[in-house]
Chain A
Amino acid sequence: MRGRPNLYTDYQKESSIFSNKTQKSWFGLLISLAIGLCFLATDYWLLLITTSCLIAIASWGLNIVSGLAGQINLAHGVFIGVGTYASAVIGGVATSSVIGYNLDMIFWLPVAGLASAVVGLIIAPITVKLKGLNLALVTLALVFIGSHLFSNFKSMTGGAGLGRKVATLKLFGIDLENGLQVGSYYLQREQILYLFSLLICVLAGLGVKNLVRSRAGRAYSAIRDGDIAAEALGINLFRYKASAFALSSFYGGISGALFFTVSGGVEPGSFNLVYSITFVAIVVIGGAGTVLGPLFGAFFYTLFPAVIQLFLHTFDIGEQSLPLNLGQLERLLFGLVIILFLMFEPRGLWGIWFRLRNYFKAWPFSY
């Protein structure tokens, strides 16, 4: 019925991903803008947005297990690492020190996700048994085990301090490392990476949105809100907790595989504890348990330093005149932001967005 968005005559319509025309058109507009940006933005900003998109995918992964299913996971970085190395081995070039099969992206991208998911499943018997602080400690231990293994499987990872090159950009046999000629237009490597990341990011986001309204998504929320109650409702805790970990790792693996292709190389030291904690911070700042939150968090995390730099640059403040160097300043401010969010807006950026939206939705009332 036109103009009657709340009149539902079937469940499909009520639970559809975009429940009304306004949402559909906003989504369409946003996608067109993002595609347009590919041809307008400078390489620097394009790279930042590409990074944001890829970090968003990993954050969604963590959000599935922590935000939706309510299971603390401090080892998300390890799952990202597994994906990265799985793709590097399958899609990377072999050298004297590391192995590599130089296969097409059509193989290495799914394998990266699946490899992480398998690792997630392997440790499931442990993670499913535990909850709260104990689970946090176990996942913390995983970070150390992961770091150790990454540093010592030299044939795969190149070893600590050295690292290796990651998978090459080759899709359906077309080498994309040097850009692509489309008709009369030449797409640079950065533009290809941007568009590809955008595509995966949109698919991943729609995936999460779909998950939330599915049977599994409802089961996750039930477990988060009370696992004993969930079990009493007939939800198989082992199955759903394990699948949450697996799905979360899958997202992490996909993100990891693509993330390091941007820079081209990866060193085992990258996947340390701080790396894993960063994702927790992104999810919290964005808004845990929401669909849009991790996306907001990822963009905030990536663009925050760039904005500080832009700010310093605009007002012509030299790095020398500051008591701290730029990296320290960024980290300090970022830490401050986390504290402020936890104190004043525990629902994160999404909470701000939610309130803003409701301010206009409730017009002319306040509730």
Chain B
Amino acid sequence: MALSMDKIYEEILRDGGETPSKKVRETAQRFPEMIAMRYKEYGLWQETTYVDFWLKSNYLSMALKNFGVLKGDSVAIHSENRPEWFIADIGIQSMGFVSVGLYPSNPSSEVKYLLSHSEAKILFAEDQEQVDKALEVIDELPGLEKIIYFEERGLYNYDHPKLMKFEDFLEIGRTEHENNPTHVDEQLDEIQDEDIAFLVYTSGTTGPPKGSMISHGNIKWVGSQIPNFSLVESVTATNPQFLSYLPLCHIFGRLTDLLIATHTLATINFAESIDTVQMDLVEIQPTIFPAVPRILERMHAGAMVRMKDATFLKKQLFRVAMYFGNMGAERKLEKGFNDKIAQIYIGIGWLLAFRTLKKKLGLSKAETAISGAAPIAPEILKFFLALGVPIFEGYGMTENCAYASGNNDKKMKLGTVGVPNYGVEIKLAEDGEILVKSPAVFKGYFKDEEATRETIDEDGWLYTGDVGVFDGEFLKIVDRKKDIIITSGGKNVSPQEIENKIKVSPFIKDALVIGDNRKFLSALIAIEFETVSNWALRKNIAHTTYRDLSEKKEVKDLIWSEILKANAETSTLEIRKFQMIPKELDHEDGEMTATQKIKRNVLMEKFSSLIEEMYS
């Protein structure tokens, strides 16, 4: 029934890529009963077929039209990943409306900014929490005409005139659709490549978020590159399974879960929440696993901590398995992925421990995985390669649809972000800044001509703001241009590089390296509460809160020994002092972006007294 991957690639190479809306329509016609989405409710994975998906998104399109949304108008979605997110997104895009995603963790001040800046007419809000955020600022948003909510719980007593239930909204659309069944199709066919498909607001480590305009042409072109894309080119299973847990308002989640999944006739399974990703992975055992370093680090740390509690025999066997796995991984990196001896080494590890370990990590069916959105420690990648799950680190950003460079099974080098993707030109500016040119480069920032001009030059080169070097043909990211530290001794240091070495430790969640205009380097450390707490329990160290634990002398000693390990690995300067961050970093407190990246300037200011203490 379903198409084989070879056939799918053949078709894409022949006919080119498509926008997700057109792909969903196509699949709904060719394989109407194919499962498009699964969402866990009452302990069961409830399924939605492609034909239902398409119909519901049509109803949504018609309802939006009914409420006066015109082509080019913005419609916002503020929700965790769930089928309604996709239905809304496809419904919005297939009429030429512009979809704007908001992070579920955005506080109401940011909600206000994003809704007013994007001029959204309709807001899809997940539940009471998100509805409350919008209602708090609704008086300042005259352009917002309706708030549609997915979950009614807690909202029964709300009687704001702009509120409406998702089902009621779809019902309106259904009537409209029955009166005019071809309207959505006609509108979809009229969409031009230059039309804006969605706005992606950069999480903004500095300044207010900027809305990147991604056009239908951009995503269509990325779609056409899928047969050559490192994440999917080697996949063979038909009807691949995805686990959708990366935020969909981020370009990485959109690229993998929406664009690649619709092109590969996949089923998208929605994780229940970010905390259950590990359990959901075990149930779904995805075929293609797009990941961010945070998740991979957690999987690695979790496995290592549990291994410490294993019985003696199991520990020894795991050690042997790891030994062979590492040899296999090294050989693969050196001699290529088809090296027979490497496969035998990894096979031994598979027999001893990795078969079941992979099952428990949810990777037993994973044919390929990618790590993106932030730099990852090579040690973590090597660990997964030893298990037999190659994770290809890639590089991209919102402004180029997250499609710039990546490792693949033919060309892989740990510590680099691989070679330029098919169809992408990459060069370095004189100051080392990475410049990217491809049809995936965005149209510009919404309502911000100046920033657009600063980012794209007349020849179409995108200034990424990242400094890189070429290691042979492999691109290596040094750091964000503005983050590079120059010590008072005049040495250039990339804090990110050192931070990543430190973050290899399962006990350290985040690190912030300081040293600009200072005599030596120091660091602020945030511990991984779960693993450190586990460690402390085994050492009989009584503790209560995060703060209490991180201020224990034993814990400080532990962290210092971990930093010394990282120091031994670094070629540049070493960390001389460190301080513990006394609280868990949080998006809502403004210390992190919605994508869990630390905001340097905020932290430096907030914990300036801690920093000064180290240098006095």
A interface list, Cβ under 8 A from B? 1, 3-4, 6-11, 14, 363-367
Would B307 and A4 count as touching, CB distance under 8 A? Answer: no
**A4 and B283 form a contact (CB under 8 A):** yes
Q: How far is the CA of A8 from the CA of B44 in the complex (A)?
A: 6
Which 5 A/B pairs are nearest by Cβ-Cβ distance? Answer: A364-B353, A6-B283, A366-B310, A363-B356, A365-B306
Q: A3-B364, A9-B45, A14-B44 are in contact. Are A364 and B283 (CB under 8 A)?
A: no
State which of B193-201, B311-319, B434-442, B514-522 sits at the interface with chain A: B311-319
Cα distance A179–B353 in the bound complex, in angstroms: 53
In the complex, the answer to whether B310 meets A365 with C-beta atoms within 8 Å is: yes
Contact B285 A8 (CB under 8 A): no
- Residue in chain B with minimal CB distance to A9: B45
Chain A, residue nearest B47 (CB): A9
List the B side residues contacting A1 at CB < 8 Å.
241
Pick from B45, B46, B321, B353: contact of A7, CB below 8 A. Answer: B45
Query: How many Å from the CB of B255 to the closest CB on chain A?
Result: 25
Asked whether B282 is an interface residue with its Cβ less than 8 Å from the other chain, the reply is: yes
Contact (Cβ within 8 A) B284 A7 = yes
Of B43, B47, B314, the contact of A363 (CB 8 Å cutoff): B314
CB within 8 A of A366: which of B314, B353, B357? B314
A10 x B44 contact (CB < 8 A): yes
Asked whether, in the complex, the Cβ of A364 is within 8 Å of the Cβ of B365, the reply is no
Q: Which residues of B contact A4 (CB under 8 A)?
A: 241, 283-285, 365
Q: How far is the CB of B317 from chain A (nearest CB, A)?
A: 7
Cα A7 to Cα B47 in complex, Å, equals 12
Q: A3-B364, A363-B353, A364-B317 are in contact. Are A8 and B43 (CB under 8 A)?
A: yes
* Contact (Cβ within 8 A) A365 B47: no
- Taking a contact as CB atoms under 8 Å apart, the answer to whether A365 and B309 are in contact is yes
Chosen A-B contacts, 26 in total, with CB atoms closer than 8 Å, are A3-B285, A4-B241, A4-B365, A6-B283, A7-B285, A8-B43, A8-B44, A8-B45, A8-B283, A9-B46, A9-B47, A14-B44, A363-B353, A364-B317, A364-B318, A364-B321, A364-B353, A364-B356, A365-B307, A365-B309, A365-B310, A365-B314, A366-B306, A366-B310, A366-B311, A367-B309
Residues in B313-345 with C-beta less than 8 Å from chain A: 314, 317-318, 321
Beta-carbon contact of A3 and B365 below 8 Å? yes
Complex CA distance for A3 and B237, rounded to whole angstroms: 12
How many whole Å from B250's CB to the nearest CB in chain A? 26
Since A1-B241, A3-B365, A364-B321 are in contact, a sample of 7 more A-B pairs with Cβ atoms closer than 8 Å, ordered by chain A residue number, is A9-B38, A9-B44, A9-B47, A364-B317, A364-B357, A365-B309, A365-B360
> Roughly how many angstroms separate A3 CA and B241 CA in the complex, as a whole number?
12
Minimum Cβ distance to chain B for residue A363 (Å)? 4
Contact among A6, A9, A10, A364 with B310 in the assembled complex (CB-CB below 8 Å): A364
Interface residues in B, total, Cβ within 8 A: 27
| Residues of chain B lying within 8 A (CB to CB) of residue A10 | 44
B11-61 interface (Cβ within 8 A of A)? 38, 43-47
Closest B residue by C-beta to A1: B241
Chain B contacts of A8 at CB under 8 A?
43-45, 283
Give which listed residue, A3, A6, A363, A365, contacts B282 with CB less than 8 A: A6
Q: Nearest chain A CB to B48's CB is how many angstroms away?
A: 11
Chain A residues with CB under 8 Å of B241's CB are 1, 4
- Separation of A14 and B42 alpha carbons in the complex (Å): 12
A366 to B318, CA, bound (A): 12
A8 to B38 CA separation, bound complex (whole angstroms): 11
Cβ of A326 to closest chain B Cβ, rounded Å: 40
CA distance A39 to B188 in the complex (A): 72
Q: How far is the CA of A10 from the CA of B241 in the complex (A)?
A: 18
B314–A11 contact, CB under 8 A? no
Please give the distance in Å from B46's CB to the nearest CB on chain A. Answer: 8
Q: How far is the CA of A55 from the CA of B45 in the complex (A)?
A: 42
CA distance in complex: A225, B274 (Å)? 34
Q: Within 8 Å CB of B38, what residues of A? A: 9
**Cα A29 to Cα B251 with chains together (Å):** 51
Q: Which residues of A contact B353 (CB under 8 A)?
A: 363-364
**Residues in A neighbouring B46, C-beta threshold 8 A:** 9
Across-interface contacts of A7 in B (CB, < 8 A): 45, 283-285
Alpha-carbon distance A9/B38, docked complex (angstroms): 9
A10 to B45, CA, bound (A): 8
Give the distance in Å from the alpha carbon of A14 to the alpha carbon of B232 in the complex.
32
Query: Given the complex, which residues of A lie within 8 Å of B283, measured CB to CB?
Result: 4, 6-8
Bitwise interface map of B from 347 to 362 toward A, beta carbon under 8 Å scored 1, else 0: 0000011001100100
B267 to chain A, nearest CB (A): 9
Q: Which of B236-286 contact A (CB under 8 A)?
A: 241, 282-285
Residues of B with C-beta under 8 A to A363 = 314, 353, 356
Residues of A within 8 A of B309 (CB): 365-367
Among A6, A7, A11, A365, the most chain B Cβ lie within 10 Å of the Cβ of A365
A11 to B43, CA, bound (A): 9
Residues of A within 8 Å of B357, CB to CB, are: 364
Residues on A with beta carbons closer than 8 Å to the beta carbon of B282 = 6
Across-interface contacts of A6 in B (CB, < 8 A): 282-283
Residue with the greatest number of chain B CB neighbours at <10 A, chosen from A3, A6, A9, A364:
A364
* Chain A nearest CB, measured from B384 CB (Å): 16
A366 to B306, CA, bound (A): 8
In whole Å, how far is B8's beta carbon from the nearest beta carbon of chain A?
A: 19
* Given A3-B285, A9-B38, A367 contacting B47 (CB threshold 8 A): no
CB-CB under 8 A from B360, the residues of chain A are 365
CB closest residue in chain A, given B318: A364
Rounded to whole angstroms, the CA-CA distance of A3 and B366 in the bound complex is: 12
Distance between A1 CB and nearest chain B CB, rounded to angstroms? 8
Residues of A within 8 A of B321 (CB): 364
* B residues 432-451 touching A (CB-CB < 8 Å): none
Known A-B contacts A4-B365, A8-B45, A14-B44; the reply to A364 vs B307 at CB < 8 A is yes
Q: Write the nearest CB–CB distance from B111 to chain A, whole angstroms.
A: 35
- Which residues of B are found within 8 Å of A367, using beta-carbon distances? 306, 309
A49–B311 Cα distance when bound, in Å, is 37
CA distance A4 to B38 in the complex (A): 14
Give bound CA distance, A363 to B282, whole Å.
Answer: 15
B356: chain A residues within 8 A (beta carbon): 363-364
Nearest B residue (CB) for A7: B283
- Report the minimal beta-carbon distance from A5 to chain B, rounded to whole angstroms: 9
Least distance between B285 CB and chain A CB atoms (Å): 5
Q: How far is the CA of A8 from the CA of B282 in the complex (A)?
A: 12
| A182–chain B nearest beta-carbon distance, Å | 45
